[in-house]
């Protein structure tokens, strides 16, 4: 038996005294139930019970209690609670870990808020889970972009293009100089555009481009599907010379991602669609800091974080925290590339670089490239110019003076962020 532990950090609200609530939660998620039962010996409690590591009082936010909450609202407290779970209870198994740290507890009626916001995991998880296979370095090598921000785009319209139209669009985007192209998450494997037809339409275009230029842009084919189809979908892509597969992590599950990782020969692009269902409420669910650790353990080489000034609900502070979280070392695993998307264009480069201090980012622009007034080539140039300027320490005004494509982009998408 090891003495290793997992520490789970929660934000909770309750009308119970905090210490009591913490102990109920720890008991419910380990040895116990609300009442002591026969055979629940002191020895069992000592060895298997989760322990309250710390409780930090926080001010209430004014949010309404979750549905079904009991307790006097006047007595409500908010706290950051850290619980310590013996690893022996579940072993380094992510599915079984989740039952302990993120199982029934969301339904406890004494909790007016209960959100899992972080997990400290012992090294045993990195022994069992392989983590990213390619990471930043492997991704850069495959797309021939040794330094600078990795710039990519998304096929638009998301769905509905014929194979011929798709091939034509990919040719334009490759010629425009993108490092990376991805299927939309809505483009799965439906009868109107089966994966094998997309692969057949896209890969010859990229191969011809590579023959001409020596550079093969990375195309992330969305292979999201039932588990038994993941491997065949992956193999189809690899057999055609593809260098990346994408899955919607929540649709195949963390377990499905891990299953794919064990078989993958190319980087796995992790899309976070549906993450809002577990994370958008600040009263219940799982926060990005906790979730991204599990996604990385399960092997995502790329992971969506959103970007600043995005069209979704997250603030810049939240987005930057997500990017920082993905960039933080984790149990000696290979790195994962943060993927910045939604509303991205060249005018966000300086502010993003200033806040993150890195170009080890995959920045995806849909409208910012497809919608540039002078075409996709100018769209890519505007972003490349902006990121090179930012990384060189120039200010935005200098970048605008030096880059005509960026100036043109700013006319449509501006103003630039400082």
Report 269-328 residues binding a copy of itself (CB under 8 A). 273-278, 280-286, 311-315
Select the residue interacting with a copy of itself from 225, 301, 385, 388 (CB under 8 A): 225
What is d(CA 367, CA 344) in angstroms, rounded to the nearest whole number? 8
239 binds a copy of itself (CB under 8 A): no
Our measurement of the distance from residue 5's CA atom to the centroid of its chain's CA atoms, rounded to an integer in Å, reads 25
Judged by CB under 8 A, which of 165, 207, 374, 395 binds a copy of itself?
Answer: 165
If we measure between CA atoms, which residue out of 139, 130, 95, 135 comes closest to residue 263?
A: 130
> What spatial distance separates the first Cα and last Cα of the chain, rounded to whole Å?
54
| Closest by CA position to 268, among listed 341, 362, 201 | 362
Q: Considering only residues 253 through 272, tell me which ones interact with a copy of itself, judged by CB under 8 A.
A: 253-256, 258-259, 262
* Contact code string over 336-375 relative to a copy of itself, x by CB under 8 A: ------------------------------xx--xx----
Q: Rounded to an integer, what distance in angstroms lies between the CA atom of residue 309 and that of residue 307?
A: 7
Binding mask 42-81 for a copy of itself (x = CB under 8 A): --xx-xx-------------xxx-xxxx------------
Cβ-contact 334, 126 below 8 angstroms: no
Is the CB of 95 or the CB of 357 nearer to a copy of itself? 95
* Subset of residues 196 to 215 that bind a copy of itself, contact rule: CB under 8 A: none
Do residues 231 and 205 touch, judged by C-beta distance below 8 A? no
Do the Cβ atoms of 15 and 112 come closer than 8 Å? yes
User: Pairing state of beta strands 5-14 and 111-120?
Assistant: antiparallel
Nearer to a copy of itself (CB atom), residue 216 or residue 293: 293
Nearer to a copy of itself, 143 or 248 (CB): 248
Any contact of residue 35 with a copy of itself (CB under 8 A)?
yes
Q: Which is nearer to a copy of itself, 18 or 102 (CB)?
A: 102
Q: Does residue 118 bind a copy of itself (CB under 8 A)?
A: no
Question: Which window, 200-208, 243-251, 354-362, 398-406, contacts a copy of itself (CB under 8 A)?
Answer: 243-251
Distance CA 27, CA 364 (A): 45
Binding a copy of itself (rule: CB under 8 A), the pick from 16, 22, 26, 105 is: 105
- How many residues belong to the chain? 418
- 148 vs 375, beta carbon nearer a copy of itself: 375
Residue 224 lies near a copy of itself (rule: CB under 8 A): yes
* Rounded Cα–Cα distance for residues 51 and 42 (Å): 14
- The size of the interface with a copy of itself (CB under 8 A), counted in residues, is 98
> Residue 411 CB, nearest distance to a copy of itself (Å)?
16
Torsion of CA 55, 60, 65, 70, to 10 degrees: 60
Q: 203: Cβ–Cβ under 8 A, 6 or more apart, which residues?
A: 219, 240, 241, 242
Which tokens is 253 given?
């599950």
**369-408 binders of a copy of itself (CB under 8 A):** 370-371
| Residue from 103, 123, 357, 373 binding a copy of itself (CB under 8 A) | 103
Q: Which position has the token pair 């377990």?
A: 255
Eight-class DSSP state of 14: E
One of 17, 60, 109, 141 touching a copy of itself (CB under 8 A)? 109
Choices 180-188, 237-245, 326-334, 348-356 (CB under 8 A): range interacting with a copy of itself: 180-188
Residue of 17, 73, 91, 357 interacting with a copy of itself (CB under 8 A): 91
């Amino acid at each position: 038996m090891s003495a290793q532990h997992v520490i789970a950090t929660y934000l909770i609200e309750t009308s119970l005294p905090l210490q009591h609530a913490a102990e109920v939660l720890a008991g419910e998620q380990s040895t116990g139930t609300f009442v002591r039962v026969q055979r629940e010996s002191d020895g069992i409690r000592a060895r298997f019970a989760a322990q309250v590591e710390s409780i930090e009082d926080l001010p209430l936010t004014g949010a309404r209690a979750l549905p079904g909450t009991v307790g006097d609202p006047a007595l409500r407290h908010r706290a950051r609670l850290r619980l310590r779970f013996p690893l022996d209870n579940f072993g380094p198994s992510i599915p079984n870990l989740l039952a302990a740290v993120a199982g029934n507890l969301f339904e406890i009626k004494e909790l007016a808020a209960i959100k899992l916001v972080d997990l400290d995991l012992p090294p045993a998880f990195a022994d069992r889970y392989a983590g990213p296979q390619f990471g930043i370095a492997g991704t850069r090598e495959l797309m021939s972009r040794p330094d600078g921000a990795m710039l990519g785009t998304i096929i638009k319209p998301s769905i509905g293009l014929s194979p011929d139209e798709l091939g034509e669009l990919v040719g334009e985007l490759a010629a425009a100089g993108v490092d990376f192209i991805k299927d939309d998450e809505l483009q799965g494997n439906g009868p109107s555009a089966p994966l094998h037809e997309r692969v057949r339409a896209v890969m010859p275009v990229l191969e011809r481009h590579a023959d001409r230029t020596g550079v093969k842009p990375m195309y992330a084919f969305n292979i999201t599907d039932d588990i038994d189809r993941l491997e065949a979908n992956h193999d189809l892509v690899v057999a055609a010379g593809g260098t990346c597969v994408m899955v919607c992590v929540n649709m195949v599950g963390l377990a499905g991602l891990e299953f794919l990782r064990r078989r993958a020969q190319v980087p796995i692009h992790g899309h976070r669609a549906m993450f809002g269902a577990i994370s958008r409420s600040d009263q219940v669910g799982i926060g990005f800091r906790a979730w991204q650790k599990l996604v990385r353990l399960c092997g995502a080489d790329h992971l969506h974080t959103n970007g600043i000034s995005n069209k979704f609900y997250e603030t810049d502070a939240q987005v930057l925290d997500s990017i920082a979280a993905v960039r933080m070392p984790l149990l000696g695993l290979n790195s994962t590339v943060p993927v910045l998307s939604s509303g991205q264009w060249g005018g966000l480069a300086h502010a993003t670089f200033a806040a993150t201090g890195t170009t080890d980012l995959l920045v995806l622009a849909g409208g910012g490239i497809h919608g540039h007034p002078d075409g996709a080539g100018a769209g890519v140039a505007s972003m490349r110019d902006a990121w090179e300027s930012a990384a060189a320490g120039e200010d935005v005004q200098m970048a605008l003076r030096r880059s005509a494509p960026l100036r043109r982009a700013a006319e449509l998408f501006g103003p630039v962020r400082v």
